Amino acid sequence: MEFTPPAGVPALDDFQREAIDRLLAGEDVLVYAPTGSGKTRIAEEFASWLLEHGRGMAYTAPLKAISNQKYRDFVELFGEGRVGLLTGDISINPGAPLLVMTTEIFRNRCLTEPGILAGVSCLVLDEIHFLGDEQRGTVWEESVIFCPEHLIILGLSATVSNASEIAEWMAGVRGRPVHVVFEPRRPVPLEFRWILPDGRVVKEEKARRYVQELERAMARRRARRSDLPWEGDPDPEVVLEAIAASGAHFPLLYFVFSRRQTEEMAARVAEEWDFLVPEEKRLVAAEIREARTQYPGLLGLPGRRALLRLLVQGIAYHHAGLAPQLKLLVERLYCQGLVRVVFCTETFAAGVNYPAAAAVFHTCRKWDGHDFRMLRAREFFQMAGRAGRRGFDPVGWVYVRVPSRRPDEAGFYREGDVEPVESTFTVSPATVLNMWQWRDEKLVDRFLERSLLTFRATREMEVARGEIARLKGQLQRGEVKGKKARAAQSRIRHLNRRAEQLAVVASSPRRQFRALVEVLRRLDYLGSDGLHAKGLFAARLRYQEILVTEMVFRGLVQKPGPAEVAAILAGVDYEPGRFPAVDPLHLRSMAAVHRLQETLVRAGVPPDFCRWHPEPCLLAYRWYQGCAFAELLEVTTLQEGDVISLLRREIDLLRQLEEALAALAEAAGRGDVADPGEVAHPGEVVHQIRVLEGLGDRLADIRGQLDRDEVRAIF
């Protein structure tokens, strides 16, 4: 079979055609290509072919921003009737043949409702390098491991250094070859320049020499304890002047890894720069008026009026603290060519396609939630790759600012140095519960052995053992003597220790599984006869399964008033920052949840599986009670985007609870709930189900009250 784009549509690049041809042949395909090279067009063209032939596609993405954009793109391409969106807090046209969804939802469907995927022919794993994400990489691994055999997998990723290894792992999991399409070339090549503290724009060689000289000068100053003034760093105004003088590369993305600084820098630049002519200003003003009509509360917030003034000058800022509605306004104006400079954090480049003529790095050092560190090569090129608009720019310009006080923050990166994807596989309670239903220990072991973690550790262990055998053979044959023999023996001891460590790593998933089985058995989630009521309920949840299930089955979601329930559910899986961000709230039910946490930890539940914090409770409590959004922001230092994200996450959790209750009731109706006779009196199942009757309606009412006004999802 061959695929030809319709008339008037740009021809496919060679790598795109290769990937589509392999997909049409029924092969799994991994595509590795630089940011902005057109990877997603492969998925779009294959989706078109599938829909023409009455088949479906599941398109998964790591971020809701990417999911929302792909939903909009697919609706524009294929029409609303054929496209759906599932992101937990949002469910649009769930029966559509082309479904955009979070990877967590796909994984759960594989485990709990594989029959739903019968009409789906292809799984797209966008940003598949998220396999190595510390928090969520396990979900990507499990999506590959549990993916039904009839689905073709299309993985899309920026370049990684171990692409062939990932393909080999997938081939072992899937039991069939995985074709790798590797495109090293960028459609628009990148040119790199460094901006020195005095405003000069230089190439890499001079920049490296300058940084070395500056570091030596700093060392001399520290040795003399000198108080001589430092040379000033180039302000964003100076940076823009230097860029304009070197060729006026606009529009421009100015990456800053601080929300506060994005706003401050945008304001400073606006004092000297105005990029728009009167006609453009009128177009921006019209967009703002329309947005103000739709979202009067958000555009009227005191902290955001300045943004509207900036937009009229063709300047914007963009970060996760902005409300989605304001981010969408900035993005829409940018796509219309009415924003020339965006001061942004890395979220602006995280998989969403907003190309620019140039990209600037204010620094190459960021806070990652735990510590300050330098950008990884993959992160750097994810952002740098936004420079260069295909069909517009002969090259994409990338500028790195050299700070005089921290010259080590000026990064020098090579695409050949992009890091490998490392596995972070962790077995979750939901995975244990769903696999427990198979009642086949050998099948469970086989799946546990399929993790990328085990694959990599086993492969390295085999290499180590092969080297040990080779060295021992040399010693036995007398091929090495004296110092070389002692060095070989030392090397053997080292390799033995390494092999032992790798054996522990390789068996980690199995140990985690068995440890969780014992915990879940003690807590009455499962038994030799199958899953009990709590187990069936928890198996449908996507995070904090044990804590949330205990909250439900111990009455903490039934007995308090609905505002209190909204409050305590807001704290599920919440990780506070370094400083308190919300005024305190004191409720009896909050103290009960804290005691429950302590009880679960004493029962052997890992703390990561019963994470809850009281900080956000007041926000959900007030919002449920009908508080205006502007008033809500008065009790917190969190920005409006954080508050909306927090409340939308709770809406997602409430949906999960409703679905879990429905699934439990259905299982009880079929008689599929095992009676935990060994730990409770006979008839306990009936009692537990009755206790939960009507709870679904209550949770739906709470969700409806939270999902309103500024918090309501937008596209």
The whole-number pLDDT of residue 480 equals: 86
The whole-number pLDDT of residue 308 equals: 92
Tens digits of per-residue pLDDT, 26-49?
999 999 998 888 899 999 999 999
Nearest residue to 561 via CA among 550, 571, 569: 569
Burial state string for 225-240 with b = 16 or more CB within 10 A and e = fewer than 16: eeeeeeeebbebebbb
Tokens of 591: 């103290």
Mean pLDDT of the chain, nearest integer: 90
Cβ-based burial of 305 (10 A; exposed 0-12, middle 13-18, buried ≥19): exposed
- Euclidean distance between CA atoms 429 and 432, whole angstroms: 5
Helix %, strand %, coil % for the chain, to 5? 55, 10, 35
The pTM score is 0.90
Give the DSSP letter string of 262-297. HHHHHHHHHTT-----HHHHHHHHHHHHHHHHH-HH
CB-based contact 111:431 (threshold 8 Å): yes
Task: Write the CB contacts of 637 (distance below 8 Å, at least 6 apart in sequence).
Answer: 579, 581, 582
Cα 457 off chain centre by: 25
Residue count of the chain, please give it: 715
- Euclidean distance between CA atoms 29 and 180, whole angstroms: 6
Q: Residue written as tokens 């903490």?
A: 556
- Euclidean distance between CA atoms 257 and 344, whole angstroms: 8
The whole-number pLDDT of residue 354 equals: 83
- Euclidean distance between CA atoms 654 and 648, whole angstroms: 10
Ranges under pLDDT 50 in the chain: 1, 3, 7, 228-230, 678-682
Nearest residue to 618 via CA among 643, 594, 597: 643
Q: Residue written as tokens 């790593």?
A: 505
Tens digits of per-residue pLDDT, 119-142?
999 999 998 999 988 888 999 999
Beta-strand pair 201-202/190-195:
antiparallel
Beta-strand pair 178-182/28-32:
parallel
- Euclidean distance between CA atoms 366 and 616, whole angstroms: 25
- Euclidean distance between CA atoms 704 and 651, whole angstroms: 9
> In the beta sheet, which residues pair with residue 123?
58, 153
For 427, phi then psi, to 5°, come to -80, 130
The whole-number pLDDT of residue 675 equals: 63
Helix (H, G, I), strand (E, B) or coil at 528: coil
CB-based contact 51:98 (threshold 8 Å): yes
Distances (CA, A) of 258 to 319, 366, 574, 668: 9, 8, 21, 51
The whole-number pLDDT of residue 159 equals: 75
- Euclidean distance between CA atoms 511 and 658, whole angstroms: 32
The whole-number pLDDT of residue 271 equals: 93
The whole-number pLDDT of residue 528 equals: 87
Amino acid, single-letter form, for residue 356: A
Amino acid, single-letter form, for residue 141: E
Q: Which long-range contacts (CB under 8 A, 24 or more apart) does 6-15 make?
A: 12/41, 12/45, 13/37, 13/38, 13/183, 13/187, 15/181, 15/182, 15/183
Helix (H, G, I), strand (E, B) or coil at 374: strand
